[in-house]
Structure 1
Amino acid sequence: MDNRFNTIAGWALAGGIAALGLSIASGMYFHAERPEHMGYVIEGVEEAGDAGAAVVEPLPTRLAKADLAKGEASFKKCMACHTIASGGPNGIGPNLFATLGEGVAEGKGGFAFSDALKAIGGKWDFDKMDAWLTNPRKFAAGTKMTFAGLPDAQERANVIAYLNSQGSNLPLPAAAAAPAAPAEGNATDDHAAGGNLSNEATPAEGMPSKDPAAKVQAEKKGV
């Protein structure tokens, strides 16, 4: 009895070992590496890129319709670091009264501007301010300013208009004029309407016919 039990137990153990071995072997054989890029490509579908980005209106157009009240409201995001009243103190950032038109990283009661901003040079004009407010760290790599920027183009224009109203008052750049409508009654319209564009008189207007046969008949009659 014991021998029979031992035999059964041995076969069962051997079967288990064989099954484990087959499992390991099949796992090694059919092992698949993790793909470098997960998912798969669907033909005909393109990835979103710059081509799908929203078209931004020119800055003069945005400034022409800027809302000073909205600009003042948006400027509250800046008040943790900046003051804007005339003669106001510097804080984490400089006082911003009359900033537009001033030299970049200049004045402001000796505020310690970063070397990155000093390297920009020139004066704060509307275009520089728009680029700065879009992404300060991209405009001046290495700036100490940690503000991420204003992604909304019209919000930036509102803030710039508000800044300009606080001691700068620079004239706003002229917005591009709308394209003129085509003039009425041009040559193309006349041609489309079937008008005579050759400026030649027709026989009905008393001019001789250009038909050679008619000319011969007229000569025979002594005309």
Structure 2
Amino acid sequence: MVMLNKAFSMPLLIVPCFAMAESSIGVVGTYSQSIYKETNTQSNILPALSYKGERFFFNYPEIGYHLIPKSPHQSLSAGLRHTPSPFDPDESNNIDVQSLDDRHDSGMAFISYRFGPITTKLAQDVTGVHDGYYGQLSLGYPISIEAWRIIPSISYQYISSGMSDYMFGVSQSDSAQTGGTISTYDSPATSKVSYGATAIYSITKNINTMVSIKQTQYNENITNSPIVDDNTVNSFLVGIFYKF
């Protein structure tokens, strides 16, 4: 599913793609809050696309290959993940924050293993943007109710200090650009827990609609960062897809 919105490049919305058909195309609308200082909520309308072959799959933000034949019970895959930067200084209403350098997107190599409803993943930056990594454990189980498929899910993600510092830290050069108004800050390793639910409704054999809500709570240590206002993000998505 091609979705360029930062808040939804997360496991909760990867689950429905596996619940859909081999390929799908559609459109989604997204709405999400921001944890960054004086940054407004964001909404977008975006195209969506996914493809799942016998071994190869594309499901933005990931492209990968199943290392063993995928089955309903397990899968082992590896690939590359485009990870958008969660922080854009220009989106803040704070003048000092706006003067900070942009944070760039990164490309991360990953390996993932799923057994039943449990998925584990390890991803490492391979583009030299932050050289960090994360480890993730998630649980999502689809429940079918007539034409509906409800997927409650929860995930835990450990974020290394290198990745965390790129997301929440302030370098000496950044601080100097604000005249010292925003002090330097080295962000330590952190973590986040995401939980929510996705509902998929089959209008016809080939047309599905989807509604998803999610809350992500970062470790409270991120609020020590001078560019962070909160540690909680609420997100909402609605979409319609044609599968073939």
Question: With structure 1 as the length reference, what TM-score do the two structures score?
Answer: 0.23
* Larger Cα-atom Rg: 1
Relative to its length, the structure with more helix (as a share) is: 1
